[in-house]
Amino acid sequence: MIILNLSTYPPQQCGIATFSMDLRKSLLLQDCQFEVLAISDDEGNEYNYPNEVMLTLFRNCETDYIKAAEYANSRTDVELIVVQHEFGIFGGNDGEYILEFISRLKKPFIIITHTVLPHPTEHQHQILSKLGRQSSGVVCMTNKSAQLLIESYSIPSSLVTVINHGVPLFKRYPQEILKQNYGFQSHQLIITFGLLGPGKGLEIGIRAFANVVLTHQSARYLIIGKTHPILKKHEGEKYRYMLMDLVKELHLEDNVLFIDKFLSDEELGEYLYMTDVYLSPYPNKDQAVSGTMAFALGCGRAIVSTSYAYALEVLGDGRGLLSQTNEPQELAALVNKILDNPQLQELLQKKAFLFGEKITWPNIGLDYKRLFCHILHPHQDLDKREI
């Protein structure tokens, strides 16, 4: 089985790029060949793409989407196209250039939705509805998103499948040894990671930590990640500097550390296994997916989060602590509750890890393989598994 995937792709630093690479690795274990049509920047950014990238198209070049469809059609050995969908990674208004691609495509395709907006604009609604109804299948990552696709976007339920966000098979490390190696042996660590930008709620996280440090003076808050490349291109480091100014204003310079780096999976696993509390302070209640939270679950971390859509679903059954509001004081109280109670921390870690084992990429890759076979060979009795 040969699959052709349309998305951003490493070395471009983007969550969907990483997702596509991890999906490819998991499918190779299932005897699926996975090749890539890579969406690149529009300023001649010459990424050194790996061999699986067959074609590059520039995000805002409409004719490139037509050429990409023609290439896919010319590949007689390609059975299925996968389109990773998020409005911001395609060109045109709300990423409408993706419609140029599918309108010329003569092969079955599926959509993997990374954003399912409950209150889209009319144009956003039209794009995702059209993509979904013309596809052979639509994947989303939560049951709430599935409900939205069916009820709000009028996509037939027979086309919708829930497959959770996958996580790498992180190597497990003893926490105390890692803390010693990184120089944090006498500190409790609260960590948030991911590409920096407005909407991540990091200012809420910093204000929450200001309340935590009142009773846990040796605690450290690590904010890990580079500024989102698109944001950096348009605004530079304005957002990061605002966060750094807030840290100074709150006199937290010794307690809040910015690690300006896009981590490898190995490095990320080490930081996560050092973590005492993973903090996810997204302010947007409609946030449908969080790959960073999925990674924290995969490492079995104790998690404190605002009550956005993805968190509500995956942290159920006591897998984490949820604040009812976005108020820093409430988040701080939940963090303190864990830091003050090792038994609670251990229980949360255990429940998170049990869930995280189910969504490792080898398991998620098998789910995708089943879906692909169901689409290409519908006469076979292959179950689509929901998590």
199 and 129 co-located in one domain: no
71 and 95 co-located in one domain: yes
Owning domain of residue 302: 175-358
Q: What is the C-alpha to C-alpha distance for residues 255 and 304, in angstroms, rounded to an integer?
A: 19
189 and 150 co-located in one domain: no
Domain annotation covers residue 354: yes
Q: Looking at the 3D structure of the chain, how many domains does it have?
A: 2
Residue 384: the pLDDT is 45
């924290």: which residue's tokens?
Answer: 296
221 and 100 co-located in one domain: no
Residue 110: exposure state from Cβ atoms within 10 A (0-12, 13-18, ≥19): buried
**DSSP character at residue 18:** H
Half-sphere exposure for 65 (CA within 13 Å, toward CB): 20
Q: What is the C-alpha to C-alpha distance for residues 150 and 138, in angstroms, rounded to an integer?
A: 10
Residue 385: the pLDDT is 42
* Cis bond upstream, residue 118 (ω within 30): no
80 and 184 co-located in one domain: no
159 and 204 co-located in one domain: no
Q: What is the C-alpha to C-alpha distance for residues 135 and 159, in angstroms, rounded to an integer?
A: 8
Domain annotation covers residue 256: yes
70 and 217 co-located in one domain: no
Residue 44: the pLDDT is 56
**Residue 22 belongs to domain with CATH number:** 3.40.50.2000
Q: Can you list the alpha helix ranges (DSSP code H) found in 44-188? A: 62-74, 98-104, 122-134, 143-151, 175-182
Domain annotation covers residue 386: no
255 and 322 co-located in one domain: yes
Domain annotation covers residue 387: no
Residue 386: the pLDDT is 43
Give every CB contact of residue 98 below 8 A, 6+ residues apart in sequence.
65, 83, 85, 90, 127, 131
Whole-number Cα distances in Å, 198 to 190, 227, 278, 301: 20, 10, 19, 25
371 and 255 co-located in one domain: no
Helix (H, G, I), strand (E, B) or coil at 101: helix
150 and 41 co-located in one domain: yes
- Encode the chain (387 residues) as per-residue pLDDT tens digits: 899 999 999 998 888 999 999 999 999 998 899 999 999 976 656 789 999 999 999 999 999 999 999 999 999 999 999 999 999 999 999 999 999 999 999 999 999 999 999 999 999 999 999 999 999 999 999 999 999 999 999 999 999 999 999 999 998 889 999 999 999 999 999 999 998 998 899 999 999 999 999 999 999 999 999 998 878 888 999 999 999 999 999 999 999 999 999 888 889 999 999 999 999 999 998 888 899 999 999 999 999 999 999 999 999 888 999 999 999 999 999 999 999 999 999 999 999 999 999 999 999 999 999 999 999 988 765 444 443
